[in-house]
Structure 1
Amino acid sequence: MARKTDRERLQELEEKMEKMKARKLQVESRMKEKERKERTKRLIEIGAIFERHFEITSKEEAEKIAWGFKKAINHRKEDLAKLSIDELKKQVEKELQNN
């Protein structure tokens, strides 16, 4: 059996490296696709929760509620940590009616 030259070994290593790069790209692509699907599912679930609890029928209403939450949280972070979900809903609804 003839021994391989350094040039042949180098060529084999370069081919293996290319195959490994292709495999790495495939794995990265699968991971990104999985993360994208998980994010999409999360967004749908969160949107469904808001739609159900606040009877939202438009993007504009969702924006108002989101801004209401943001405003409430920015003004009273410590107080909000002590509130129950029902109390929080009542406060946000009250603020939205005032605006």
Structure 2
Amino acid sequence: MGDLLALRSDAYEAAGGRVVLAPEREGVPPLVLLDASYSSSDSLDALIPDGAPSLLRCTRLTIEGPFTLASGVVFEGDVRLTNGSGRVRQLPAGTYKDAHVRE
């Protein structure tokens, strides 16, 4: 599911009838690691109900635990989201750069 999240983001774009990495990525896709709770397209849709976050400048995104991402979330560098509460936490719009967000 991590690859699907990346494909839905701005790290990829349509070109000539194909989906390719955005030129700014310089041939290197973002690494997206999602825990086992995001194992279906329905769970991925619940994570990003308002659309995929920006991963254009993200090198690595790790999500552990239940989250929803608000519209306007931008990840840059190495970002980790950890939620051990068991309750779904909404990550508000904003830029998260080289951050570890914990619940």
TM class by smaller structure: under 0.3
When normalised by structure 2's length, the TM-score is 0.24
Higher helix share: 1
By relative contact order (CA 8 Å, sep 6+), the higher-ranking structure is: 2
When normalised by structure 1's length, the TM-score is 0.25
